[in-house]
């Protein structure tokens, strides 16, 4: 594997870079993966140990990737119930614009030698919200697919026929980002930051209602930490590679318990409610 860092965009005082991983033995049947880190649009970095280990594992399996930095427009402000919904939307949209700039750079770069089948966008937590926004609002025609680790999308968005395939992973008991349709951070409805969202697995159901395909992976009893733990789970990594290699053409739902053991095939919900 080769690992190199590149400047892909300058916006004002923000100098945005990406870490490009090109596998020694690329899989030509898989798209590359652009990864957007989490951190509530106010912190985080593209080269955290979790992200690096995850993307190194994909490279070993032949998958190219680019982990990007992006504008952290909520730094010093937070992303809680006291932040107006429009400001939250603006932070997601700005990060999505940066992700598209990274895609433009990659598609025009002479450095790429490892694949020719396009790119999916993936993210963790805030990065997953960015991925869902870019894939289903801003530029659905640019992506081969969307991968959401504990992310959600504005509940006002509706699916349409050109939407890319989805792989949504979530903890069933996430108290920060809802798995279904609910308010971000479960804020009181009268707060200025009460933003109605639809979690990744619920968005997968929306896509299916119009005949599109999606995969979901749900950890029963799992919280928001799934946004990191699922990336490092070898079983989940194998599922992701299967999805990238063509599995996205069909629907699939996987439920696991808190220790990661897969629950019986065909299950459509977790066996126990959240406390």
The answer to whether residue 262 sits within a structural domain is no
Residue 169: CA count within 13 A, CB half-sphere: 26
Mean pLDDT of the chain: 94
Report how far residue 179's alpha carbon sits from residue 219's, in angstroms, rounded to the nearest whole number. Answer: 11
The whole-angstrom distance between residue 85's C-alpha and the CA centroid of its chain comes to 21
Helix (H) or strand (E) run with residue 154 in it: strand 152-154
Report how far residue 60's alpha carbon sits from residue 205's, in angstroms, rounded to the nearest whole number. Answer: 32
Q: For position 89, which CATH number holds?
A: 3.40.50.1820
Q: Tens of pLDDT along 90-117?
A: 999 999 999 999 999 999 987 776 556 8
The answer to whether residue 107 sits within a structural domain is yes
The whole domain housing 167 covers: 2-256
The answer to whether residue 274 sits within a structural domain is no
The answer to whether residue 266 sits within a structural domain is no
Provide the pLDDT for residue 28. Answer: 86
Q: How confident is the model at residue 268 (pLDDT cuts 50, 70, 90)?
A: confident
The whole-angstrom distance between residue 257's C-alpha and the CA centroid of its chain comes to 22
Q: Tens of pLDDT along 225-246?
A: 999 999 999 999 999 999 999 9
The answer to whether residue 161 sits within a structural domain is yes
* Cα-based angle 229, 265, 232 (whole degrees, multiple of 5): 15
At residue 260, does pLDDT exceed 90? no
Q: Tens of pLDDT along 24-49?
A: 999 988 999 999 999 999 999 999 99
Tokens of 95: 């990060």
Higher pLDDT, 73 or 258: 73
Report how far residue 94's alpha carbon sits from residue 150's, in angstroms, rounded to the nearest whole number. Answer: 20
CB 174 within 8 A of CB 151: no
Q: What global pTM score does this model have?
A: 0.96
Number of independent structural domains in the chain = 1
């Amino acid at each position: 594997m080769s690992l190199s860092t590149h400047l892909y965009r300058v916006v004002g005082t923000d100098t945005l870079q990406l870490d490009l991983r090109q596998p020694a033995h690329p899989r030509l049947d898989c798209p590359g993966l652009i990864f957007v880190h989490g951190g509530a649009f106010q912190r985080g970095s593209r080269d955290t140990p979790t992200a690096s280990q995850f993307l190194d594992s994909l490279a070993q399996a032949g998958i190219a990737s680019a982990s990007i930095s992006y504008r952290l427009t909520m730094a010093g402000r937070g992303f809680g119930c006291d932040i107006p919904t429009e400001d939250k939307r603006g932070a997601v949209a700005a990060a999505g614009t940066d992700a598209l700039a990274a895609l433009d750079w990659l598609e025009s770069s002479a450095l790429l030698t490892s694949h020719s089948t396009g790119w999916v966008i993936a993210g963790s937590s805030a990065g997953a919200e960015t991925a869902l926004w870019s894939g289903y609002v801003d530029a659905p025609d640019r992506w081969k697919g969307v991968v959401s680790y504990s992310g959600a999308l504005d509940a006002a968005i509706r699916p349409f026929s050109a939407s890319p395939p989805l792989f949504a992973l979530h903890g069933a008991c996430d108290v920060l980002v809802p798995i279904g349709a609910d308010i971000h951070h479960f804020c009181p409805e009268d707060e200025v930051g009460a933003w109605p969202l639809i979690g990744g697995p619920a968005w997968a159901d929306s896509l299916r209602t119009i005949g599109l395909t999606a995969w979901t992976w749900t950890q029963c009893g799992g919280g928001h930490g799934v946004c990191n733990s699922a990336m490092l789970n070898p079983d989940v990594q194998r599922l992701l590679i299967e999805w990238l290699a063509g599995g996205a053409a069909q629907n699939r739902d996987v439920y696991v318990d808190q220790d990661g053991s897969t629950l019986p095939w065909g299950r459509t919900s977790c066996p126990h409610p959240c406390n």
